Chain A
Amino acid sequence: MKLLQDRKKWHSFKLFLCVLPFVALVLVFSYYPLYGWMYAFFDYKPPKPLSMDDFVGLKWFKSLVESDVKIDQLLQVLKNTFAMSGITLATSWLPMIFAVFLNELRCVPFRKVVQTVTTLPNFISWVLVYSVAFCLFNSTGMANTLLENLGIIKEPILFLQSSDHVWLTMWLWLTWKNLGWSAIMYIAAISGIDDEMYQAAKVDGATRLQRIWYVTIPSLLPTFFVLLMLNIANFLNNGMEQYYVFQNAFNKEYIQVLDLYVYNTAMGSGSYSVSVAISMLKSVVSLVLLLGATGASKKIRGESFL
């Protein structure tokens, strides 16, 4: 009997040994970096290894708010982050509407072409998006040529080197890239709606718009809610790639979101410690947002997404 139990235990442990190398990879690449948070409490000068003499306590956290200039800079970064995430959050219903009206297209080949073509930009990198922007909107690009030909402008407009409407143009590029792809989840949800509901609505004399409003949209709201929660959880995580490729000396003030600011502080000015301190604060706030969002999801829908 005991032998059998031991064999069972050994088998269960053997299964663990099978995945151990991969668990080790995760520990090394995803958990070991957490140890780097320590740099936020030390005066770290890159080539030299850390020693206890360099311990500075909360110096770097205090330095974030020690002068008016620094406070202003940090506030501007937070403003950019909140504005751009805020615009995305406020327009998070767009993919749903996109899917709903795409579904209203009766001509199936046309619908398929539209779906294929509009999801395409999602699969090109931000560097390529920037390249597209560059080719179309530089001083001899398509936009300027067209406006000049139409006689609207005489001098080319430097779209990409402008500090005006940065938040809006960043949102536009993001939407151009993501809208079609984000709609796919809703398209799937729509195909799962019971056709009898539409038939019943038709019999009752509902117009197309009424059918959308009273049948389609209510069926999509659960999906919308989950994605909204995920968006909220990622409020501070804009990523840096989009903003990094689009940034230049002219728009820097308005384009720096937290992720980019963290990168610029470390790699641009070499202040690793300050940068880690900011990124730590960000991670903690993000974690709170994530837990809040899953909590809300659990309470309202009975399931969490963690």
Chain B
Amino acid sequence: MQVSAGKMKKRKIHESAGDRTLGIVCYIVFAVFALICVYPFYYIFINTISANDLSARGAILFWPEGIHFKNYISALQIDGLFQAAKISLLRTVIGTAATVGASAYLGFMFTQNKMWHRKLWYRLIVVTMYFNAGIIPWYLTMRNLHLTNNFWGYILPLIVSPFYIILTKTFVESVPHEIQEAAEIDGAGIMQIFFRIMLPVIKPIMATIAIFSAVNQWNAFQDTLLLVTDNKLYTLQFILYQYLNQASSLSALANSSTSGSAMAAAVATTQTPTSVRMTVTIIVVIPILVVYPIFQRYFVKGIMIGAVKG
């Protein structure tokens, strides 16, 4: 008896040592990976506020030196950047509003069993999540509809999004059916039921969809690439991509926009291609960095509900 008890105790100590090592290894690996995810943004940020001659040489690695904020002021004066910011913002606001409204409405409508051929229409929409004609036929269609070089080309194709409709439909189905039946007995029409009763109930899922859709609109790049040649309709993402592929003309662009007296300015604040690229990168990424941590729980909720019926 004594012996076996001793053995057990020994084994337990041995095991917990192994478990502890595992725990420590986990902490180290995750800390390193988290650092890899964060450091690039930190690196770019400290470079944008450091002396430009140092950042152009790549001398800034861990902390900023010669701090100044002139890069941001000059960036805002670059031709076209403000216009691009406006377009990005507009498509994010209008596109998100349209998509959220349509998804809420359709998600609710497709729970109405009485609808004529409901399943057919629902399937018709869901299938597009998995199967499409390809980008070139899509582009040719958009061109035939005169939606190239047209702001609405950013909005209209994204209004009906199957994934968001699935999310809302799943959510509406979890709402007790009696609520709608009671309203029907009281003589409420379908629109009244949707606006007065359903809309307040499904607000949480609409918030989730709004976040997803806003991020998608802000990040969209491919549609600009395919549809737009008019530089008044360029988005921030597209402008940034152009900047990354342009060489020295970039700093000329930035410096020419500042007044003549600024030409005598110190090398530390003269724009370089590096400084322009990094500054624009930060400007484009900041909305995401700010929005994401605040709304993280909505994102997670979205993927959970989606997982039930993805």
Name which of A29-37, A57-65, A73-81, A163-171 contacts chain B. Answer: A29-37
Q: Is the interface of B mostly helix, strand, loop or mixed?
A: helix
Partner among A39, A107, A110, A124 whose Cβ is within 8 Å of the Cβ of B219: A124
Q: Is the interface of A mostly helix, strand, loop or mixed?
A: helix
B43 touches A12 (CB 8 A): no
Q: Please, which residue of chain B has its CB at the minimum distance from the CB of A185?
A: B307
A145 touches B61 (CB 8 A): yes
Q: Please, which residue of chain B has its CB at the minimum distance from the CB of A306?
A: B130
User: At the interface, yes or no: A41 with Cβ under 8 Å from chain B?
Assistant: no
B116 touches A12 (CB 8 A): yes
Partner among A12, A33, A259 whose Cβ is within 8 Å of the Cβ of B114: A12
Size of interface on A: residues with Cβ below 8 Å to B: 92
Name which of A13-21, A85-93, A193-201, A213-221 contacts chain B. Answer: A13-21
A145 touches B160 (CB 8 A): no
B116 touches A279 (CB 8 A): no
> A19-B121, A125-B219, A135-B43 given as contacts; is B141 within 8 A of A32 (CB)?
yes
- Identify which of B47, B102, B145, B300 gathers the most chain A CB atoms within 10 Å of its CB: B300
Interface hits, B60-118 → A, CB 8 Å: 61, 102, 105-106, 109-110, 112, 114-118
A279 touches B121 (CB 8 A): no
A279 touches B134 (CB 8 A): yes
User: At the interface, yes or no: A225 with Cβ under 8 Å from chain B?
Assistant: no
Which residues from A are CB-within-8-Å of B31?
Answer: 114
B131 touches A134 (CB 8 A): no
> A25-B159, A263-B135, A283-B131 given as contacts; is B19 within 8 A of A207 (CB)?
yes
Which residues from A are CB-within-8-Å of B27?
Answer: 105, 107, 110
Contact with A along B21-46 (1 / 0, CB 8 A): 01100110111011011101101100
A39 touches B34 (CB 8 A): no
Size of interface on B: residues with Cβ below 8 Å to A: 93
A123 touches B288 (CB 8 A): yes
B26 touches A240 (CB 8 A): no
* A-B contacts at CB below 8 angstroms, number: 249
User: At the interface, yes or no: A130 with Cβ under 8 Å from chain B?
Assistant: yes
User: At the interface, yes or no: B207 with Cβ under 8 Å from chain A?
Assistant: no
User: At the interface, yes or no: B11 with Cβ under 8 Å from chain A?
Assistant: yes
> A22-B106, A185-B307 given as contacts; is B281 within 8 A of A135 (CB)?
yes
* C-alpha spacing A183/B110, complex, angstroms: 31
Contact with B along A205-234 (1 / 0, CB 8 A): 101110000000000000100000010010
Partner among A34, A118, A127, A208 whose Cβ is within 8 Å of the Cβ of B33: A118
Q: Please, which residue of chain A has its CB at the minimum distance from the CB of B43?
A: A142
> A15-B190, A33-B140 given as contacts; is B26 within 8 A of A104 (CB)?
yes
> A105-B26, A135-B281, A244-B225 given as contacts; is B125 within 8 A of A26 (CB)?
yes
Write the nearest CB–CB distance from A178 to chain B, whole angstroms: 11
A117 touches B133 (CB 8 A): no
> A136-B43, A188-B307, A263-B135 given as contacts; is B240 within 8 A of A33 (CB)?
no
A19 touches B37 (CB 8 A): no
Partner among A29, A114, A142, A244 whose Cβ is within 8 Å of the Cβ of B157: A29
Write the nearest CB–CB distance from B22 to chain A, whole angstroms: 5
User: At the interface, yes or no: B6 with Cβ under 8 Å from chain A?
Assistant: no
A33 touches B132 (CB 8 A): yes
* C-alpha spacing A35/B39, complex, angstroms: 48
* C-alpha spacing A130/B215, complex, angstroms: 18
Which residues from A are CB-within-8-Å of B289?
Answer: 120
Write the nearest CB–CB distance from B168 to chain A, whole angstroms: 13
Which residues from B are CB-within-8-Å of A33?
Answer: 132-134, 137-138, 140-141
User: At the interface, yes or no: A83 with Cβ under 8 Å from chain B?
Assistant: no
Interface hits, A255-306 → B, CB 8 Å: 259, 262-263, 266-267, 272, 275-276, 279-280, 282-283, 286-287, 290, 305-306
* C-alpha spacing A31/B121, complex, angstroms: 13
Which residues from B are CB-within-8-Å of A123?
Answer: 215, 219, 288, 292, 299
Name which of B51-59, B170-178, B249-257 contacts chain A. Answer: B51-59
User: At the interface, yes or no: B221 with Cβ under 8 Å from chain A?
Assistant: yes
User: At the interface, yes or no: B183 with Cβ under 8 Å from chain A?
Assistant: no
> A12-B114, A184-B303 given as contacts; is B130 within 8 A of A233 (CB)?
yes
Contact with B along A106-128 (1 / 0, CB 8 A): 11001001101111110111111
User: At the interface, yes or no: B197 with Cβ under 8 Å from chain A?
Assistant: no
Q: Please, which residue of chain B has its CB at the minimum distance from the CB of A145?
A: B58
* C-alpha spacing A13/B56, complex, angstroms: 66
Write the nearest CB–CB distance from A230 to chain B, whole angstroms: 8
- A residues sitting closer than 8 Å to B (CB atoms) are 8, 11-16, 18-19, 22-23, 25-37, 39, 101-102, 104-107, 110, 113-114, 116-121, 123-128, 130-132, 134-136, 140-142, 144-146, 176, 179-180, 184-185, 188, 205, 207-209, 223, 230, 233, 240-241, 244-245, 259, 262-263, 266-267, 272, 275-276, 279-280, 282-283, 286-287, 290, 305-306
The 3 closest A-B pairs by CB, nearest first: A36-B137, A279-B134, A125-B219
5 further contact pairs, Cβ within 8 A, besides A8-B114, A127-B241: A118-B33, A127-B240, A145-B59, A245-B241, A279-B135
